[in-house]
Structure 1
Amino acid sequence: MATTSTTTPAISQRPELAQLPTMPASVAPTLPAQDTLAQKPVVPTPAPDSTQTKKTERPRLAHRLVIGVLVAPSFSAVRRLETARFGNDLGLTLEYRLTSRLRVRTSIIRSVKQYGAASSDYTIPASWPWRQGDYEVNANCRMTEIPLNLRFDVVSRPKYTVFASVGLSSLLMRYECYDYDYQVNGQPRTAVAEVYKGKNHAFGLLNLSGGVERPLGSRWSLQAEPFLQLPLGGVGAGKVRLTSGGAAFSVKYGLLR
């Protein structure tokens, strides 16, 4: 019985494979080792941010001492609005910065206060030989005002500052003129009384104010400041309860950084 054998043909029996040369292992190309650092993605360095550079810059120091010139149209009244008359203030100001937001301020101001008053709101000095009764007074007083205030900067920006201020004012009375309008037997009469260098009033007014300051360059600035002054006692020869208000406008110059 014949045995059938299955024989796998040798490679040599395929002429196209037999003709391929065999490369020795010694001369086989060697691939370089992979560089693990080269496989990491390269992150580009970001350009410097100009806004961040500005934030890290050292802030410019504010002036510690500030001088200025002040002018203020104002009005004064005794108890009632219908007694109000217009006056004016003119003076020199001085400020010293205690902190970045807090300043102490003072001034020397030539103040003209005019007002009206009824006899019920006016006390005639005992030394004046004056007729008692109903009368109206129109006053024109010139005085030197010396305020002492604290200012707090509520909002501070490069182009403007919003502030509030509170303090007290002393009044040095220089000249007082009073016109008294009264009647005798139904006939109107007017008398005039003058006082030179009368009584001074230490811390006789309470000052309340707020305003806006705007810089003009590195040293100069402009300031607008509405204000109200409330009486803490009697003022002038008639010891009136004098209320004043208005708006102060200042030009200021900074010193001492």
Structure 2
Amino acid sequence: MNEKLFNLNQGEEGLDDLFRNAADAEQPAAPAHAWLKMNLLLDEEEQKRRRGFAWWWLPLLLFMAGHRHFVPQPGPLEVEKTKSFSRQLLPHESSGKESSPKEAAHTAATGTQQSADQKRDASFIQLEKQHLNATPSRKFVSEISTPEVSVKKELNQPILEMSPESALTKEESMTLVVSNELEDKALYPALPKKQQLSIPVSVSNTDPAIPGQTIVSTPKKQPVTYRFYVYGGGGLDRGFVSGNHESELKPAYGAGLGLELNKRWAMQVGFTQTRKLYEAPGNAYTPKAGSYYDNPNFVIQEVYADCAILEIPISVRYNFLPNQQHQVFGMLSMQNAIMQRESYDYYYTRFGQPAKGYYTYRTKALELFSGIGLSVGYEYRISDRLHVQAAPYFNIPTKGIGEGSVKLRSAGLFAGLRYSFWKKK
């Protein structure tokens, strides 16, 4: 490339000459679409400026509207009272010259009328105060003055105290009543209609401390009653026979369903799984007819038993404290038993010689009405549905059960939860 094109300091023409020649040279005319685009940009800028000016007035209008709405404005009654008080404070203007009898009479009549107006305004204020106090036993003397009374006051004549009825004529009394009603309406805005409020209070309907007030007493909340309930829990059980014989405590658990007849009475049926380990004398065990130990040459001396029994009690329950947080109840039960497994260790004599035997029976036999159960317990109400309870019990046998027809007693403690459902209508 030619280096002379890029060296501006060489040649006859310098840098200034190059700029001057370029400025003097004629340039091509701008196309029409460029001018159109320029006009559109200028119009858009003008519209933005106008919109900004319009939005500037909006906060000012909002401020003026809020000031008009929230700042209290003086009412017509306040303006009238202000004019009245300013009229009372104006001094009496006199020219200092001696007035004629006509002017003196006119001045006296005008002053008497102003005095009467002032007295009437004062009486309105006094009646308004008495109306606000609203004491049942108030007694007052009217200070409302007529023109005759004002003249008597100026002449220093004795004036008798009069009641409002005697001091005012019928027309003036009506005017006074209407004025008081208008002032009350102006002073006190219209209140909404009286609403019936149910406010829980602890006073009676004939409380003299609140005259003229209707008291709505809150009724005491009654607990909800239910038709059915379920219960479940566990405890400890001990089976034994009469006499001084060994036995052991074993865990027991169970559940059931109950029906509430009323607030005090209920019926329930359930099951209890128990295991009974006990020692029985030979005369308490009676072998079944035709069994191995049903032999006159065999004499049972002692039996050690380990039995798994499913008990099915049918109970009647009585509540001593119905609808209370703390409940005491009693139950009477009819016991039924299913002998699931019976294991016995026999100590006996065979033809006069000591012997020992062991046998397990799994008969699954059902023993109906095998005993009577008695129980007295305590129950605490957690909610209308849920209760926690605990009750000791004692079962008395009515007949023998199992392979040896043993009259087995039992005692223990059962604790658990009771849940009610199905509301009574």
TM-score in same-fold range (> 0.5): yes
Residues in 2 aligned to 1:28 and 1:220: alpha-carbon distance in whole angstroms? 78
The corresponding residue for 2:270 is: 107
Preserved contact between residue 198 and residue 237 of structure 1 (Cα < 8 Å): no
Instruction: Provide the rounded CA distance (Å) in 2 between the counterparts of 1:134 and 1:67.
Output: 45
**Of the candidates 86, 89, 114, which is equivalent to residue 249 of structure 2?**
86
Residue 247 (1) aligns with residue 410 (2): no
Q: Which shows bigger deviation, 243-252 or 126-135?
A: 126-135
Residues 81/217 of structure 1: CA separation in 2 closer, same or farther (3 Å cut): farther
Shift of residue 233 of structure 1? 0.8
1:79-158, aligned counterparts within 5 Å?
A: 79-130=242-293, 132-156=298-322, 158=324
C-alpha distance in 2 between matches for 1:177 and 1:101: 43
Aligned-pair Cα RMSD in Å: 3.0
Partner of 2:359: 193
Structure 1 residue runs without a partner (length 5+) = 1-19, 34-42
180-189 or 152-161, larger mean C-alpha shift: 180-189
**Structure 1 residue 149, shift from structure 2 partner:** 0.4
Q: How does 1:144-183 map to 2 (within 5 A)?
A: 144-156=310-322, 158-182=324-348
Amino acid at match of 1:80: G
Q: Which has the higher contact order (CA 8 A, sep 6+)?
A: 1
Classify the secondary structure of the residue corresponding to 1:82: coil
Q: Which structure is higher in strand share? A: 1
Q: CA deviation at 1:158?
A: 3.4
Give the Cα separation in 1 of the matches to 2:361 and 2:289: 14
Does the 8 Å contact 1:198/1:236 carry over to 2?
no
With over 3 angstroms needed to count, the CA separation of the structure-2 counterparts of 1:251 and 1:123, relative to structure 1, is same
Contact 1:75 1:113 in 2 (8 A): yes
Structure 1 pair 93–45 and aligned structure 2 pair: CA distance change class (3 A): same
Q: 2:400 matched to 1:234? A: yes
Partner SS, residue 233 of structure 1: coil
Letter in 2 for 1:214: Y
Percent identity of equivalent pairs: 23
Matched, 1:44 2:209: yes
Which of 223, 239, 244 lines up with 1:76 in the alignment? 239
Q: State the secondary structure of the residue aligned to 1:241.
A: coil
> Residues 319 and 330 of structure 2 are in contact (CA less than 8 Å); yes or no, is this contact kept in structure 1?
yes
Cα separation, 2, equivalents of 1:215 and 1:150 = 20
Cα offset, 1:29, TM superposition:
4.1
Please, which moves more after superposition, 93-102 or 187-196?
A: 187-196
Q: More deviation in 123-132 or 98-107?
A: 123-132
- In the other structure, the counterpart of 2:205 is none
Matches of 1:187 and 1:87 in 2, distance apart?
35
State the partner residue of 1:11: none
> How many correspondences in the alignment?
224
Distance 2:227 2:323 in 1: 17
Residues 28 and 210 of structure 1: CA distance in aligned 2, closer, same or farther (over 3 Å): closer
Aligned-partner Cα distance in 1 for 2:408–2:417: 28
Structure 2 SS opposite 1:120: helix
Q: CA deviation at 1:250?
A: 1.3
The equivalent residue for 1:63 is 226
What's the TM-score once normalised by structure 2's chain length? 0.47
**For the Cα contact (< 8 Å) 2:341–2:361, is it kept in 1?**
yes
Instruction: Give the 3-state SS of the residue equivalent to 1:224 in structure 2.
Output: strand
1:210 and 2:376 correspond = yes
Q: Once structures 1 and 2 are overlaid, which stretch shifts more, 194-203 or 162-171?
A: 194-203
Larger Rg, first or second structure (1 or 2): 2
TM-score (norm. length: structure 1):
0.76
Contact kept in structure 1, 2:299 and 2:350, CA below 8 Å: no
**Which amino acid in 1 is paired with 2:343?**
C
CA 49–135 in structure 1, closer or farther in 2 if over 3 Å, else same: farther
